[in-house]
């Protein structure tokens, strides 16, 4: 049950253990920030006398980074420790190899994808700018969320692609089984996000398959890491859309027209709309051409 015919612990048990450990360690690493937030906000306001943590974080960018970025850093630490001491693997075997060209192309492709979606939504009057292009709104969130999304991009690709896919590959699983399993785990992990939608979870699974394809096509985590960082940052902190349901703090802010959530993603963010589906599919084509060009 626990071991395969070769006497190895089955990939599913290793991944389950890593996933549970990751959740626990993330909470521990975010605890100092939460305690600081509580001390900063005390005494609590409101009739209930309770602290609305998410609302409070929206007014404290550096504490928000300490809470959310701290939890993400915890995920990076436990993933590295498990990979090194449980899986007996190196950083290179985890996926940190290859050329920095992969990272730069990923950064470019993720940003371009969001820009294209933004332009289409503007051209079709599904969104309107609240502040003009000539009046960008910079804040501390512009900096803190850049740092946080860099951590998120590294951690989520390290875990969901590097750890999950490499663990399954080392146990001899079929490539497409690995793709689908890593994408489903990735989507499930986002299932508790605010304002989650069915299409949003489908798109997260689909982009998980894209990230898996990027990892496989380049034999490196750098391309999906780059794409992941700028997809999130341009969505939430440049153009002011929600990112997988979380509140935006954009340089620009948009008002989303009602009645077309299937296209815009609504309160969940662009991942909840069909335009994201189309751009994710385009990402497969771009990755294929890039992999052939750099081969």
pLDDT in tens, 169-185: 999 899 999 999 999 99
pLDDT given for residue 191 in this prediction: 86
Helix, strand, coil tally for the chain in percent (to 5): 70, 5, 25
Specify if 151 maps to a domain. yes
Q: How many independent structural domains does the chain possess?
A: 1
- What is the pLDDT averaged over residues 275-286? 98
Residue-level pLDDT at 45 = 57
- C-alpha 155/C-alpha 168 separation (Å) is 18
Q: Band of the pLDDT at 47, cuts 50, 70, 90?
A: low
| Distance, CA of 164 to CA of 57 (rounded, Å) | 31
Mapping DSSP onto H, E and C, the string for 96-114 reads: CCCCHHHHHHHHHHHHHHH
**pLDDT category, 249, cuts 50, 70, 90?**
confident
Q: Report, as an integer, the average pLDDT of 55-68.
A: 89
Confidence of residue 288 (pLDDT cuts 50, 70, 90): very high
Taking residues 102-115, report their average pLDDT: 98
Range 285-295 average pLDDT: 94
What are 243's strand-pairing partners? Answer: 246
C-alpha distance from residue 261 to each of 17, 202, 272 (Å):
37, 15, 7
Check residue 229 and give its pLDDT. Answer: 98
Stretch 67-96: mean pLDDT, rounded?
A: 96
Q: Is residue 10 in some structural domain?
A: no
Residue 48 has pLDDT above 60, yes or no: no
**48-56 mean pLDDT:** 69
With respect to residue 63, please indicate whether it lies within any of the assigned structural domains. no
Structural domain including 123 reads: 92-294
What's the mean per-residue pLDDT of the chain? Answer: 92
Q: Does residue 32 sit within a domain? A: no
* pLDDT higher than 80, residue 54: no
29 domain residue, yes or no: no
Residue 26 lies inside a defined structural domain of this protein: no
Over residues 210-233, the mean pLDDT reads: 97
């Amino acid at each position: 049950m626990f071991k395969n015919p070769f006497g190895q612990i089955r990939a599913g048990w290793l991944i389950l253990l890593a996933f549970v450990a990751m959740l626990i360690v993330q909470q521990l690493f975010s605890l100092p920030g939460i305690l600081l937030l509580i001390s900063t906000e005390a005494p609590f306001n409101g009739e209930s006398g309770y602290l609305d943590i998410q609302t409070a974080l929206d007014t404290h960018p550096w504490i928000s980074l300490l809470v959310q970025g701290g939890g993400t850093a915890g995920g990076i630490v436990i993933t590295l420790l498990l990979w090194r001491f449980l899986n007996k693997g190196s950083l290179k075997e985890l996926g940190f190899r290859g050329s920095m060209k992969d990272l730069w192309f990923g950064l470019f492709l993720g940003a371009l994808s969001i820009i294209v979606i933004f332009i289409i939504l503007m051209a079709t009057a599904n969104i309107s700018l609240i502040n003009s292009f000539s009046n960008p709104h910079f804040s501390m969130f512009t900096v803190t969320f850049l740092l946080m999304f860099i951590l998120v991009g590294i951690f989520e690709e390290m875990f969901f692609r590097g750890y999950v896919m490499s663990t399954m590959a080392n146990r001899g699983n079929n490539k497409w089984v690995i793709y689908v399993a890593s994408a489903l785990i990735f989507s499930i992990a986002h299932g508790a996000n605010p304002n989650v939608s069915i299409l949003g979870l489908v798109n997260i699974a689909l982009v998980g398959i894209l990230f898996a394809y990027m990892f496989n096509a380049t034999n490196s985590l750098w391309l999906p890491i780059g794409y992941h960082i700028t997809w999130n940052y341009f969505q939430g902190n440049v153009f002011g859309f929600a990112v997988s349901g979380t509140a935006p703090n954009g340089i620009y802010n948009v008002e989303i027209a009602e009645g077309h959530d299937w296209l815009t993603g609504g309160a969940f963010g662009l991942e909840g709309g069909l335009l994201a589906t189309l751009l994710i599919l385009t990402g497969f084509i771009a990755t294929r051409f890039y992999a052939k060009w750099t081969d």
